[in-house]
Structure 1
Amino acid sequence: MGDPVWSISRDGNSLVEDEIIMMMHNEPNITTLFYTFKTIDGHEVSLTDRHNIPIFDQQDNKIKIKRASLVTREHYLIMLNRKIKIANITLNNQIGYYSPLTLTGYLLVNNISISVFSDSYQVSSDTVQFVFLPIRLYYRLTRWIYGNNHSPFIEIKEGLHPIAQFYKDYQGKLRFLVKSPKYICSTIIIMMLIKFIQTHALLK
């Protein structure tokens, strides 16, 4: 982990140097339905049906986050400094999928901006990014103390990472917490995570 990657800012106007914090989900042997979006200039990206992606909604004149299965040809994909029309959308089954967690919550794939989150958390990508704040803070702190080669979280070869599983298991409580003041929410999440991490020995 700690691999350098690129992402695009939320407004689509800036290229951001990013890092992969952990692999939240690895399923190298599972066959899954993918949606492949091809732009009018030939760029394409493939996502599982529940994976989120930022799109430009021309009717509302703003960028939104939608799950792949809800994106239509009326939407525009986000590339650096431009919004690009979708030429076609195809569905096909592919073997294997991977879900990294980055510092920004976004990732650049074939010059197209995607979210690193799915809608399986049943909240917005911005909310998921917020509740993952303790993970990002811990990652930055340990890398600052131990150096940039330090990987603070255990790595998984297959399945859902235990920390991601924690968020899914407690998503009902987390949805309640995010309605409280942010400093209270962050404190409680950190306390819950510390207890969970200590119990399951998830740190290196």
Structure 2
Amino acid sequence: MGTTTNTTVATDTTEPPCFSADQHVTLANGQIISIQNLAAGDHVLTMSDDGKRFVASEVAFFIHAEMNRTSVFYTVTTVSGHQISVTPDHYIRVENNGYIIASQLTLNYSLFVAHLNHPVRIRSIKKEFKAGLFSPVTFAGTILVNDVFASCYCLNNLRGTHYEKHHLYAPFRLWYYIAKYYLRFGSDIYDMPRDNIHWAIGIYVHYGHYVVFIYRSLRALFLMSLIEFFIRISEIIHPILIKHVYY
């Protein structure tokens, strides 16, 4: 019978979204490497959002990369024997429920696993201390770790869903793309440090509540602008249509 742990939502919003150091990723060429050896510019395998096909995505930066640190991880094992270890607030893709954080997982959920044609039920969830904190961010915002489909993000001060977090980190992905492909800077300019959280991301997360407020306000403003635009267009088109009908 599977085992599980207390699934209370984690409240420590300072912990970065990370995978433990003993995890592995698959490069686009099929090579399997330790997540410790992954670097910005590498192309890794992930999956489409519905979990039905493979997608290659470039690693843009690391939110965090630190080997000599121990933290609490949720080690989730599926009935197929696949296993992934993530920090409590890290998002994982589950069947029918989108992305939820690891501390909310139960044995009733099923995960998406590479090379299998169907989601796989969770067999056990173990809370344990493990070494290393590694959080690569791809352009897709997702990654296959130990063949398990997971998000690159977590629930921290940048409150929001996986999809909102992907939008919120867009400026950093944009900087990487411009610096590397347009300005032709060396990797020392756009790559993140490997021993801690980058200072820019640290500030971004620290003021996350304000960042999210601005993001949601702009999104709401854009939506209202679209509605207003639709109303204006309707006011112009409607009389023309009415006139056409009657004449």
TM-score, scaled to structure 1? 0.79
CA contact (8 A) 1:107 1:116 kept: yes
Query: How far off its partner does 1:5 sit?
Result: 0.7
Find runs of 4+ consecutive structure 1 residues off by over 6 angstroms.
Answer: none
Aligned to 2:112: 78
1:63-88 Cα offsets, whole Å, 9 max, x none, are: 32111111011000112442111111
Is 1:9–2:48 an aligned residue pair?
yes
1:151-199 Cα offsets, whole Å, 9 max, x none, are: 64243131211232122122111121122344989xxxxxxxxxxxxxx
Aligned to 2:215: 178
SS in structure 2 at match of 1:173: helix
Aligned to 1:191: none
SS in structure 2 at match of 1:179: helix
Aligned to 2:64: 25
Aligned to 2:132: 96
1:75-128 Cα offsets, whole Å, 9 max, x none, are: 001124421111111222111111111111101012110111111132212111
Aligned to 1:53: 92
TM-score, scaled to structure 2? 0.66
Residues 154 and 184 (structure 1 numbering): CA distance in 2 closer, same or farther, change over 3 Å? farther
Of 122, 130, 135, 2:167 maps to 130
Query: How far off its partner does 1:138 sit?
Result: 2.6
Gaps of 5+ in 1: 57-61, 186-204
Of 191, 197, 202, 1:165 maps to 202
Of 96, 109, 112, 2:148 maps to 112
Gaps of 5+ in 2: 1-39, 223-247
Residues 15 and 151 (structure 1 numbering): CA distance in 2 closer, same or farther, change over 3 Å? farther
One-letter code aligned to 2:61: M
One-letter code aligned to 1:143: K
**Higher CA-based Rg:** 2
RMSD over equivalenced CA pairs, Å: 2.3
Kindly indicate which of the two structures has a greater share of residues assigned to strand. 1
CA contact (8 A) 1:34 1:92 kept: yes
Residues 137 and 154 (structure 1 numbering): CA distance in 2 closer, same or farther, change over 3 Å? closer
Of 155, 161, 167, 2:192 maps to 155
Of 98, 102, 108, 1:68 maps to 102
Aligned length: 180
Partners of 1:14 and 1:147 in 2: how far apart? 32
SS in structure 2 at match of 1:82: coil
CA contact (8 A) 2:142 2:152 kept: yes
Partners of 2:177 and 2:138 in 1: how far apart? 12
CA contact (8 A) 1:52 1:117 kept: yes
Partners of 1:169 and 1:91 in 2: how far apart? 26
Partners of 2:138 and 2:220 in 1: how far apart? 22
